[in-house]
């Protein structure tokens, strides 16, 4: 376990579980590092055929731990590429193994944007998806400005990424970024079934076909860098500073 991330290998599947329930699995830099390492070390391991990312029952992730995020941003002000969060995004972009996401409960910020790097997404009926970047005076990340319009169309992506509208599990299925909606508490078990189905297929054919379906990794990393540059600039903006102050004031109230 690295920073509230539990990694287990079961048969041919690597399961990455976010385990910080007291903070609704809010992601810290250590957690990003743990997820990134779990994905990276699977790449050259022929025994690992598939990856599952889950938050367990009841919650996927509340997104970035903002206090940890702001601390890291201040420390990495001159070298944003050194951030563990950015390394995690690169790991997603360059990953070659099928990734299944099991979303039970809230998926906020990175909890939603990471799903567009996944190959199969299961959601419980209680799952909700939101990307409140604009409300914090920021811009989208994780190449979501490239991937979301491609997956669900410009208008839906605009309502989600720019207007910050919440998306239900059924709406996500209709929009095309969730495959199946299941009962609460069943996403992980169903994800394992999907993993077994994928692992039973010819490995090389799966890898080649997946590569044909995906955008080239360099397109994704280019957009991640572009978003990251703008994100860093926005962090210093009057809008963002005011929004963060208001957020923490509400949190203390």
Whole-number pLDDT of residue 71: 80
User: Cβ(31)–Cβ(78) under 8 Å?
Assistant: no
H-helix or E-strand spanning residue 101: strand 99-103
Average pLDDT over residues 241-248: 92
Whole-number pLDDT of residue 72: 73
Give the sheet arrangement for strand 106-108, strand by strand: 106-108, 128-130, 167-168
For the stretch 73-113, pLDDT in tens is 776 655 554 689 999 999 999 999 999 999 999 999 999 99
Superfamily, domain 5-203: 2-enoyl-CoA Hydratase; Chain A, domain 1 (3.90.226.10)
Q: Is the pLDDT of residue 166 over 90?
A: yes
Average pLDDT over residues 162-167: 97
With a CB cutoff of 8 Å and minimum separation 6, the contacts of 126 are 104, 105, 169, 184
What is the pTM for the complete model shown?
Answer: 0.94
The residue with greater pLDDT, 97 or 247, is 97
Distance from C-alpha of 38 to C-alpha of 96, rounded to nearest angstrom: 13
Would you kindly state where each structural domain of the chain is located, as residue ranges? 5-203
């Amino acid at each position: 376990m690295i920073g509230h991330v539990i990694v287990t290998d079961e048969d041919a599947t690597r399961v990455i579980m976010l385990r910080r329930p007291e903070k609704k699995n809010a992601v810290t830099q250590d957690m990003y590092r743990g997820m990134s390492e779990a994905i990276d070390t699977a790449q050259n391991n022929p025994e690992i055929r598939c990856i599952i990312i889950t938050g367990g029952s009841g919650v996927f992730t509340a997104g970035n731990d903002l206090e940890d995020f702001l601390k890291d941003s201040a420390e990495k002000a001159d070298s944003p590429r050194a951030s563990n969060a950015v390394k995690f995004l690169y790991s997603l972009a360059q990953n070659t193994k099928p990734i299944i996401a099991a979303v039970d409960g809230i998926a906020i910020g990175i909890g939603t944007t990471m799903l567009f790097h996944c190959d199969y997404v299961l959601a419980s009926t209680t799952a909700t998806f939101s990307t409140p970047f604009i409300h914090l005076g920021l811009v989208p990340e994780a190449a979501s400005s490239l991937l979301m319009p491609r997956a669900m169309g410009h208008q839906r992506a605009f309502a989600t990424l720019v207007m910050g509208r919440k998306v239900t599990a059924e709406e996500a299925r209709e929009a095309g970024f969730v495959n199946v909606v299941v009962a609460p508490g069943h996403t992980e078990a169903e994800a394992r079934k999907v993993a077994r189905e994928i692992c039973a297929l010819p490995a090389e054919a799966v890898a080649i076909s997946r590569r044909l379906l995906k955008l080239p990794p360099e397109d994704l990393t280019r957009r991640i860098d572009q978003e990251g540059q703008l994100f860093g600039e926005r962090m210093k903006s009057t809008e963002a500073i005011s929004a963060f102050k208001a957020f923490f004031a509400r949190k203390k109230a």
